[in-house]
Amino acid sequence: MNLKAIEIFAEYQKGCEFKAALGNKGLNEQTKINERFFLGDQWYGARLSGDKPLVRHNVIKRIGDYKMSQVLSEKTIMDFSAEGSYVNNAADTNGVMNAFSNYFSVSAERVNLESLSALALKNAYISGSSLLYTYWNPTLETGNFADAKRTVPIKGDISCELLKIEDTVFGDPYCENLQNQPYIIVSAKKRVESVLKEARLFGADLNTLTLIEESATDGKVLVLTKFYKTYSHQKGTTVMAVKVTPNAVVRPEFSTNLRLYPLAQLNWETRLGLAYGESEITHLIPNQIAINRLITANVWSAMSTGLPIMLVNGDTVNEKITNDPAQIIKIYGSNEDVAGAVKYVTPPALIKEFDDSINNLINNTLTQSGANEVALGDMKAENASALRTMQNAALTPLKLIKSRYYTFLEDLARIWADFWVTHYGKRQIKLLENGSFKYIDFDADKYKSLIINAKISLIKTADYSEKEQLETLFTLFDKGIITKDELLERIPKGLVPDIENISKEEK
């Protein structure tokens, strides 16, 4: 048994116990429930007999999809700046920061950041928090060479992986700032073969390899990676790491050469004085259950009215009753026997207020969540401009979520910049200018001492639908501001078939 592994696993277990005590169900269990409700598995565990349909009206997913689409709809650009400059060359430092802004977009496309960000937002909506882990991948081809003859390729670049908050433990669960954590532990189930290979790479002896194999179940072993920071006057802050299994060290303590934890955290809702975020779904579930039950009761009532229970007098009806509307039932006996042979049980009718209560509950749930009919575009307005004004007002509550999302991207940008100045060495970096790519020389050692900041900027774009564009064009034409020819030239392409020939004929 390795004492370092035992110590880290004790810290991990302590963190897991804290998460298990959060809320009524614990963070991990609540996340499982939230995910089921988001996906629509909303009658899970309900003890209901019979084969009647269980109706779902998934307001949780509609609210989440709407909010996530609004957060992701803004086009952004990342701006970098630096405090301090090497050899007092501020002009060069500014030029490199401008190049970083461009290179961030190129790197984001390479790692598919758009997709990762959307998944991070979805995880945060379900779990309350999401983490994006950036790591150095030494095997990645870069297309760069260390020599003029292009015989010595330069390998290695950043890669990203989305982590679940359930697999992450913070050293101080009451510290809201991730970079101020005393340590962070990330857990992962990995194939025992890959863990053994990594352990051999870093000098593990036979006893260590045996201990790793012994801790494996179903061909996999639990691996904990602990990140923590050290400080020295010479090097400043450095992020250290160590990898362990329950009873052995896979990779001894090593320096990442980074100054920032390589983890960017996104919280859907923040909890005051807590590192872990809160999911909106947790508090929407009671409303969702009530909506489903009310609608299901309404459907069952309609079925009972359309297909009521049939009572049959077995003394006068001897044949099998199928409830088929075309069935002919033979009855023997007097008129009184015929009258009392078959009859239906009339169910009580639902009052009108029952339907109203369902609609009110749905609308109130959407409204209180900031996803009312105005925001969703279900409300009619006198014109498109009025509707847009109403929708913009309805988007105001989303500003806080957008702000947390942009902070998440800014944190990620600072982490990437930390990798660029500590891991890149001398190489060329690819930039995109005016639709074409170019390469510039970069020497990372020159910028290691800089304190790099990142700030996101929104790109303002006109977001008009074709209907709004037409309304605007016709308004301008009616007021005599544009001519008929100018109107025809500006109609969105593809909206009117053969518009080019129509325009030519008019001319």
What is the 8-class DSSP label of residue 272? Answer: T
- Across the chain, mean pLDDT equals 86
pLDDT digits (tens, 9 = 90+) for 136-154: 999 998 888 877 778 888 8
DSSP code string of 313-377 = -TTT--SPP---TT------S-HHHHHTTEEEE-PPPPPHHHHHHHHHHHHHHHHHTT--HHHHT
Residue 229 has pLDDT above 60, yes or no: yes
Q: How far apart are CA 376 and CA 372, in angstroms?
A: 6
Q: What is the pLDDT, as a whole number, of residue 35?
A: 96
Q: How far apart are CA 415 and CA 2, in angstroms?
A: 32
Task: Report helix, strand and coil shares of the chain as percent, to nearest 5.
Answer: 45, 25, 30
Q: What is the pLDDT, as a whole number, of residue 87?
A: 46
Q: What is the pLDDT, as a whole number, of residue 183?
A: 98
Instruction: Quickly state the pLDDT bin for 494 (edges 50, 70, 90).
Output: low
Residue 386 has pLDDT above 60, yes or no: no
Residue 380 has pLDDT above 60, yes or no: no
Q: What is the pLDDT, as a whole number, of residue 44?
A: 86
Write out the two tokens for 208. Answer: 């260590």
Instruction: Quickly state the pLDDT bin for 317 (edges 50, 70, 90).
Output: confident
Q: Which residues lie below 8 Å from residue 444, measured CB to CB, with a gap of 6+?
A: 420, 421, 422, 423, 424, 425, 426
Q: Averaged over 182-196, what is the pLDDT?
A: 96
Q: How far apart are CA 162 and CA 133, in angstroms?
A: 6
Residue 490 has pLDDT above 60, yes or no: yes
Compute the chain's Rg from CA coordinates.
32
Q: Averaged over 30-53, what is the pLDDT?
A: 85
Q: How far apart are CA 10 and CA 4, in angstroms?
A: 10
pLDDT digits (tens, 9 = 90+) for 434-452: 778 898 999 999 898 889 9
Instruction: Quickly state the pLDDT bin for 233 (edges 50, 70, 90).
Output: confident
List the one residue out of 275, 258, 255, 257 whose CA is nearest residue 266. Answer: 275
Give 223 or 328, the one with higher predicted confidence.
Answer: 223
Query: What is the H or E stretch that residue 26 is in?
Result: none
Give 18 or 500, the one with higher predicted confidence.
Answer: 18
Instruction: Quickly state the pLDDT bin for 367 (edges 50, 70, 90).
Output: confident
Q: Averaged over 277-294, what is the pLDDT?
A: 93
Q: What is the pLDDT, as a whole number, of residue 473?
A: 84
One-letter amino acid of 253:
E
Bridge partners, 224 (sequence order): 187, 244
DSSP-derived pairing of the beta strands 342-345 and 129-145:
unpaired
Lowest mean pLDDT among 235-249, 258-272, 282-296, 489-503: 489-503
Q: How many CA atoms lie within 13 A of 48 on its CB side?
A: 13
Give 408 or 296, the one with higher predicted confidence.
Answer: 408
Residue 113 has pLDDT above 50, yes or no: yes
Q: How far apart are CA 489 and CA 507, in angstroms?
A: 11
Instruction: Quickly state the pLDDT bin for 223 (edges 50, 70, 90).
Output: very high
SS3 state at 36: helix
Q: How far apart are CA 491 and CA 347, in angstroms?
A: 58
Give 395 or 486, the one with higher predicted confidence.
Answer: 486
Torsion, Cα 363 129 268 180, to 10 degrees, reads: 160
DSSP code string of 81-134 = EEES-GGG-HHHHHHHHHHHHHHHHHHHHHTTHHHHHHHHHHHHHHHSEEEEEE
Residue 505 has pLDDT above 50, yes or no: yes
| pTM for this prediction | 0.81
Residue 186 has pLDDT above 80, yes or no: yes
User: 53: buried, middle or exposed (CB in 10 Å: 19+, 13-18, 0-12)?
Assistant: exposed
Give 372 or 478, the one with higher predicted confidence.
Answer: 478
Q: What are phi and psi of 122, to 5 degrees?
A: -65, -45
Q: Which residues lie below 8 Å from residue 365, measured CB to CB, with a gap of 6+?
A: 59, 63, 284, 287, 288, 291
Q: Averaged over 250-267, what is the pLDDT?
A: 97
**Which of 103-117, 325-339, 363-377, 492-506 is the most confident on average?**
103-117
Please give the angle made by the CA atoms of 146, 148 and 154, to the nearest 5 degrees: 20
- Which residue is associated with the tokens 């564009």? 469
Q: How far apart are CA 223 and CA 216, in angstroms?
A: 10
